Amino acid sequence: MKKSTIEERNWNLMFIAWVISVIATLSALFIGEIMGKIPCNLCWYQRIFMFPLPIILGIALYRVDFSAWRYALPLSVGGAGIAAFHSLIFFKILPEEIKPCLEKGPSCSGADMLLWGTLPLPLLSFIAFVSISISLIAIWKRS
């Protein structure tokens, strides 16, 4: 393949990862600040891994620097791991005794973890992190 074609595909993949990270970040802020849902401990950890991604990927897109996957991929994989753990707790696959959420704080597996009563937030987070990771791995393999 021509170098320009590879660069164009890498840019498109990085753009997709950036868009997903922006949507996930703005959604987390909207759910917390506008809808008033207080994040549980696991949600905070997922935010820690997600919130830097729009900045890192945005700068990489602006500078056309595809080596940024080295910085973004560990964040997206780490976030996916926490989101997977959170999803397993939410769907009661793992016992509730191991959940890190405090008894007095927001629940990791309660009804507050549903968006509009149907969409599980931990699963949406997991899908976002995995999608970003897949895009970044594709860039890595083409580099």
pLDDT digits (tens, 9 = 90+) for 114-140: 666 667 888 889 999 999 999 999 999
The position carrying tokens 């994989």 is 77
Domain that holds residue 116: 3-142
| Nearest one of 17, 3, 25 to 131, comparing CA atoms | 17
pLDDT in tens, 51-78: 999 999 999 999 998 989 999 999 999 9
pLDDT in tens, 65-113: 898 999 999 999 999 999 999 888 877 787 777 666 666 655 555 556 6
Label residue 1 by pLDDT band (50, 70, 90): low
| Beta bridge pairs of residue 120 | 114
Query: Rounded CA gap, 15 and 118, in Å?
Result: 29
Q: How many domains are there within the chain?
A: 1
The 3-class SS string of the chain reads CCHHHHHHHHHHHHHHHHHHHHHHHHHHHHHHHHCCCCCCHHHHHHHHHHCHHHHHHHHHHHHCCHHHHHHHHHHHHHHHHHHHHHHHHHCCCCCHHHCCCCCCCCCCCCHHHEECCCEEHHHHHHHHHHHHHHHHHHHHHHC
Question: For the whole model, what pTM was predicted?
Answer: 0.87
The encoded tokens of residue 31 equal 């759910």
Read off the CATH number of the domain in which 54 is found: 1.20.1550
pLDDT in tens, 5-58: 878 899 999 999 999 999 999 999 987 888 777 777 888 899 999 999 999 999
